[in-house]
Amino acid sequence: MTRNPADNAADPTTGPTTGPTGPAPDMAPPVPPIHTVPRCWSRQICNRPRGANTSSENESKNVNKSQIEVRQKANNELGIWVSNKMAELKKKGYNEAQTLAQYKAKINEWYEEQDVLDRARAGNVSVEAMVSKMGVCAGDLGNANPPSPTKRMKGRDACPLAFKESDFRALHAAMEKGQNIRIKSVGDVSTKAFSTAESLLPAQLYPGIIGKVHEHRLLDHLPVIGMNAPSMEFIVHSSSSGGPPAITAEGATKPDITLTLTQNTITAQKIAATFGLSWEIQMDFPTLLTYAQGEIFKQVIDAENTALINGSSGIVGFQQTSGILTFAYSTGNYLDTFSQGIENLRTGSALATANLIVIHPGTFGAVRRQKDGQNRYILNPDPEMDQANQIWGVECLQTTAQPAGTALLLDTEKFGFVALRQNLEIMSGFTNDDFQRNINRWAVEERLNIAVERPSAVLNITGLPTS
């Protein structure tokens, strides 16, 4: 609540204020405070018999109005003073932003004061309008007689609130003391019949489809080259015999080396699926076509991930490729196992450097949760500061396509490549009696295979925890 105007005389906080850059040459005119009484607490001017028009009521209303007028006049003077001062600054070369910054506090003070006055004035108007329309005192809201059956009025005027006078007084007292209070409306609480069509209303249809979630694509992390024919053949230097090169004396026989070369051929393998939709559903719910096309694409990628990691026929995946390195975890720290695997790759015949780890999320979670003797996380001592997405500085790709309890360590620059004959494509057409049944059918397919040129650039770790 605001202070009484008489309190300002003894209150040092209402003394002269300073200007924006020091003492102001002309002080802003003081603004006298005003008691703003919410409309529903104006009972003090309505304690009279209904219909009466006492002089005390008119006196109270006039006092309230006069306070607003005095306060408004003072605020107008403040606005004029601020405007004049801003104009003076602009004449001195200040720009708009600098001028506003100098008098920001005073401008805010003017806006806040004007808002109080507007709300106080609106409260008086609404009280007077209600009394004029209903012929009752505003304090009698909860006890007013019902409106005349022959005179129509808005519900907010006929029954704005239905609370007892004592409730309003208690609410007013609680606000003055800064306390919480809850009041309940009064009236007829008997159960009566009513009309409804709630059960007949149709449910709102969400505009999209809640789709399934799919794994990341492994192919995004592997090198790819195009195929210009259905199959690709490459020559592999599998071993050498004789030698090795050595320092040879004059006239001595030089070491002789024989290279063993083998031929390897891969054939593009098709991963495909089809789906059909009726013409009717495409017309009635076109969102389904867009979703179905994207979903089948993702399902083809899921099959592609499985084939590249663990395929055994057509596409022979990493884990099924002959000649890759393996290492089994037995006991101790999981990180030691990964360190040993990285070392084995580097010392193998491919001299590979691991730059990608493909791991099951459950297995990776077990590795991240491992702690030392002081109960600190080993992989990431402070999980709140950072998330561990690497092991020994090697990026980890989590996918459920990788069997749980295993992890693949790859040198993606040396192991080989994925040969791509046909990228993911979608085609439409008919089959059997689709046309007669108003069915459109689509096919999603790709053709590819993996060429592991250097199996020793791949290492498969086994024996890890599954969760």
Write down the pLDDT at residue 297: 93
Domain positions in the chain are: 5-177, 218-241+258-462
So what's the pLDDT on residue 436? 92
CA gap 282, 2 in Å, rounded:
66
Closest CA to 274 of 259, 295, 243, 253: 295
| 309: helix, strand or coil | helix
Are 138 and 127 spatial neighbours (Cβ–Cβ below 8 Å)? yes
At residue 261, the pLDDT reads 92
b/e code 81-100 from CB counts within 10 Å (16+ = b): bbeebbeebeeeeeeeeebe
Q: Which distant-in-sequence residues (6+ apart) come within 8 Å of 427 by Cβ?
A: 442, 443, 445
Superfamily for 218-241+258-462?
A: Major capsid protein gp5 (3.30.2400.10)
Which residues of the chain have a pLDDT value below 70?
A: 1-64, 123-168, 182-191, 380-387
- Assessment of whether the complete model's pTM goes beyond 0.75: no
- How much is the pLDDT for 125? 54
What is the rounded CA–CA span in Å between residue 464 and residue 391? 14
Looking at the DSSP assignment, which residues form a beta bridge with residue 240?
Answer: 259
Pairing of strands 416-429, 224-226: parallel
What per-residue confidence (pLDDT) applies to 34?
42
DSSP for 66-111 reads HHHHHHHHHHHHHHHHHHHHHHHHHHTT--HHHHHHHTHHHHHHHH
- The CA distance from 416 to 315, in Å, is 14
Of 243, 241, 245, the C-alpha closest to 258 is: 241
The pLDDT value recorded for residue 39 is 39
Contacts of 83 (CB under 8 A, 6+ apart): none
- What is the maximum alpha-carbon separation in the chain? 140
* 134 Ramachandran zone, left/alpha/beta (phi>0; psi -120 to 50): alpha
Which residue has tokens 């009309």? Answer: 195
Q: For residue 185, what pLDDT is reported?
A: 56
Query: What gap in Å lies between CA 72 and CA 321, rounded to an integer?
Result: 89
Q: CA nearest 225: which of 38, 423, 32?
A: 423
Rounded CA separation 60/45 (Å): 6
